[in-house]
Every structure is written in C-alpha cells, then in structure tokens.
Structure 1
Amino acid sequence: MTGKRVSETELMLPALYFINREPGITTTRLKLLLVDLLKPTGKDAEIARSRTDTYFEQKVRNLVSHRTLQRRGYALYNRLGRDGTHTITEQGKDFLQTNIDTLEYLLSGDFDYDDVQNSFANITMMGEQNRKILIYDENLVIEEGTRRVKNVQVYERSRKLREAAINRHTINGHVQCSVCSFDFYEAYGERGRGYIEIHHQKPIFQYEEQDIGKFIENALQNVIPVCSNCHRMIHREKNAPMTVEDLRQLIQCARTHS
C-alpha cells in the first residue's frame, strides 16, 4: 500500500453514483455507503485527530464543506440542520453516465484500495478533459458462455488482451496456472489447448488515443494466467481479493495438513 490519503476528487464519481441512486441522500448516509463500498485502509481508516470519525469520513464531509460537487455543477446540496441532502444535476448525470462502465468495472473487480483510489483520480481527470477511457474487463471473457455481453466493444478489447496474455505464457502448447500450475492441455488434451483464465492484478485502462499494440504490451505486466478454481478463490470475498502469493501459501498449507 502507498499510504496515500484519498482526495475529494477521487471520491466524486462514487459519491455521484450513490447520489443518483438515492435522490435526497444525506451526507451521513453517503458517508456510510462510501465506507462500505471502498473499505478504506491505512491512514484513511484511522480516526482523525481530535475527531470521532476517520480521515476518510472527514474527506467525505469535505465534499460538502468545500462544495466540491456543486462547484462543478454535478450536484445540489440542501442543508438540513447539522446534516443535509444531495441531489444530482443533469450535468452530474452526464458525467456519471459517461464513466459508468469504468465505475462498475472498478467496483466489481475486487481491486485493492490503493488501486481503486488512483483509478478514480485518473478517471475524473480524463473525464473532465473529455478524454475517453477504454476498459478491459476480465469478467466479460470469463462469462462469455453463460450470458449475453452487453458491451461488445469492451468484450472484444478484453478478448484481445486475454489472447495476448495466453500467447505470452504459452510454451509448446501448454499454459499453466500461475498459482497452482494446473494445465488444461495436460488434463484435457486438445480440448484444453490454449485455455485458461486471465486475472487482472491491477485495473486495466486504455486512453482512446493510445496505440493499442504498445498498450497491450504494457498491460501484460499486470495480468496473469490462472485456472478457474484459483480465479474463483482469488475473488471469493468481495473487496478482499487474495494475492497470488497468499493463495499459493494457502494451497501449500492445505496440502501439508491433508
């Protein structure tokens, strides 16, 4: 972890997500939802000096006191006693809708707090510069046989990255799980040749103007091949993904005591 504290800018997009979902949401309610969603760690999880709330919760309150959303025209604030309510504006809805796929990707990917925090900062900055961000979602490829993909472009990009990752890690037709070394080709013969799932260790984004070849080459540093079982174990606990090394140790421990 970097230990970097969250900024108001990094909280804007997830805050708008809840303000849009619950019109008239109070600051207290917004704070609780953001804490539950993002699960802050490090300094952000500590109680602020001379306060009863954490540094993270204090930053959520700063969204109000500094009029962060209002100054950008994204939301309206109505003070009610010591609390207050928030309502999203049309401009805020446009900003949220523009970034909704990216937001949902981050919130469903079980990435660690620092990575999500940094991603929100980049998304907000790019969005306000009208630069389009393209996402690569590992889950679309995993579930391709069980549901209709709603975003074909995201699926196609993700499939290309998956194929590039498999090619990178394939040796003589064999590609092994980075955690347990399971090999589908070895287990299932030709039917398993070249098959494996790909895990994103960090969020994968591409700016629209970036060269796709160079982007994929860089992105391959943050994706690894994993078997279906290990992939499910990595993501089994929402917002608490296991690292590859931790899962390896868990498997080794289980084998030792079996």
Structure 2
Amino acid sequence: MEELILALELYFKLSPNQFEETNSQIIELSLLLNKRADILNLDKSEKFRNPVGVKSKLNNFLFLDKGKGRSNISTNDRLIWGEYSQNKQKLCQEAKIIRRGIEERSIPIQSSKAILDQEASDFPEGSIHYYIHKRHERNTKFIRQIKNTAEKNGQLHCEICGFDFHQTYGDIGKGFIECHHLKPLSEYDADEKTTKENLVLICSNCHKMVHKYRPWLGRNELKKILKN
C-alpha cells in the first residue's frame, strides 16, 4: 500500500505524456521504492520496481481516473484510488511520512524485519509508518518520563479501558504500557517535539483499534464505543 501511495502522489504531479521510464521523477521514485525494499529486507529481482513498473502503475491510475490506458487494475489500486484521489491533502501527508521514514533509514534492516514479522503487518498505516512511530516512542525521553511518573502514582493502566498489564500478567507485565500520539507523526514539523497533551497511555488492544480508522479515533470516541 505504501508503494501505491507514493505512486499516486506522483500521478497527480505528472501529466500522462510524461509517463515514460526515462522521466527523472519516475526514475527517482523507482530508486526510492528499491531503497524501501532494502530497509524492509524484501526479496528483489533485477527488475524490482523499475521505471517501467512505475510507469505501468501510473497508467493504472490513469485508467481509474480517465478510463484511458491499461485496464489491468488490482484491488489495491482501486482501494488506494478510492481512499486518496479525492483527498490530496491526506495523500500528501501519508506520502510525506513514508518518504521521511525511507530517507532517514533510522532502523537497521535486521531489527526492522523482526518488528515487521511480529507486529508491523497489523499496523494499518504501513510498515514504514510503524517504524517511525515506534522509533519516536522508544527514543523520546519525555515519553519514558510520563510512563515512569504514571507507574510511581499507581496509574500505569490504559486510559481507554483501564487494562493494567502488571495486575493481569504479574511481574512480566510490570512497567509495560504503550503510548499513542493523538497528533499523527505525519503532521509534525521537522523539529516539533511531543507534548504531554498529545500522548495517551494505552493498552495494545485499544492502540490497534484507535489506528483501525483514518482519521484515528480519539480517546473519547473509543471510550464511547466501549460503553456501548
């Protein structure tokens, strides 16, 4: 899905007569997709996401848009077109965070593949989004301070459903809780820091439910769902 988001972003930047494998922007996207594959440790052939393949994907979107070009459209092509073609602001935000994750290359290939195998396949925003989200969570000293303070005050439980890992799992769950950013990381400025108001201590189940929809469900919205 991430590759399709980047391809659709490029589709809206080019005119159909620019859909050539020699186009510099198509070549640039091809290189970016291969770089993403390296980060995720994906198997690649010599023709993996080459400029011809990128051109082909752009022509798929042309068919969905104008009814012109090739008609060999995948289900994912239609899903991405339906979700983003009428919301270019959302498309640009999604593409921004994907590009940011690829260009930073901040997570080693081996560890990122392990995360992918265990958890990332369930993260609706996509694996690159997931890595940025988890890196931001793990590397932010401020977040660790919030968790430590909550634990000292006996409040280290899910703010949505009240689940307490320590109470349920004993010592193995002591000190454990996840942290959700109310403001998506894709909307952060380059030097913007996380604030206490933008964080929610949350259990794994509620965290997945919050991310199930776009825009993400808010704290009160999910609480209402639980009450009903």
| TM-score range normalised by the length of the shorter chain | 0.3 to 0.5
Normalized per residue, which structure has more strand? 1
* Greater fraction helix: 2
TM-score, reference length from structure 1: 0.42
